[in-house]
Amino acid sequence: MSAAQFAVFGHPIAHSLSPQIHQAFARQFGIALEYRTIDAAPAEFAAAARRFFAEGGRGANVTLPHKAAAFALADERSEAAMRAGTANVLTPLPDGRNAAHNTDGAGLVRDLTERHRMDLRGHDALLLGAGGAARGVAWSLLDAGVRTLTIVNRTPETADALADAIGEPARAHTRYWEDLDDIGSFDLIINATSAGVLGKPLDLPFGFVGNRATCYDLSYGKAAANFIAWARAANALHAFDGLGMLVETAADAFELWHGKRPDTDPVHDELRRQYG
């Protein structure tokens, strides 16, 4: 009997740590599984995902640039996926349909509050970016007690659309990217832009970094390096990349598929030792 099949879809995807993470989780429970990367160009994603499930795939993670397409492909969607309009997990249903989930926001909040021991209540947060990554975490930050969420995006209309979708103008509002030089200070700054992934500099001023600010990049490793370096140069109290978030979101997917909650700390710590 062959092992259950799982995969992560992206483009590119060869760099993904997801196979290593899910194999480490599986070893905690003595579960045999195969988990592979599937590189699908945007025009090919839907067909590739359908083929994977038709051939017996038991679950798929989805990363850039396919999260919106994964949401559109699904027959059922979790509340978090509905709010974000994107999905990072696809799960087959017994009747042949599939369900979409978005675990990004829950993973971010758990990494901040449990691994990094932060109490998010009362924080004034700045969210850089308003695309799929930002939409995946915005509601969860507010649910966790962030007092205000200021959304800044190079395309103002995208930021306005996210703020409108949140529908809490007293807590979630937008400012122009050009205002960053004189926008006030924040004690939580989340980088949800794709600049690091695309290898582009953000060229941010230092002025909005509060004297006890936590800066967090949703990316990890090389993609987060420039933002982390900027945060340290700005004298942020803490500068974190998204490796812990990646592990936590993977744990949510693993629990959806296997009904068991893995211990994330040893997996996170081993990845940190390997990749810094």
Catalytic residues: 67
Amino acid at 104: D
Q: How far apart are CA 120 and CA 109, in angstroms?
A: 8
In sequence order, the β-bridge partners of residue 188 are 125, 214
SS3 assignment, position 121: coil
Cβ neighbors of 32 (< 8 A, separation 6 or more) are 3, 4, 26
CB contact at 8 A, 197 and 220: no
Amino acid at 24: A
Q: How far apart are CA 241 and CA 51, in angstroms?
A: 34
**Tokens 């205000």, located at residue:** 148
SS3 assignment, position 242: coil
DSSP 19: H
CB contact at 8 A, 93 and 75: yes
Structure tokens at 248: 């936590």
Q: How far apart are CA 89 and CA 94, in angstroms?
A: 16
Furthest CA-CA distance within the chain:
62
What are the two backbone dihedrals, phi and then psi, of residue 86, each rounded to the nearest 5 degrees? -140, 165
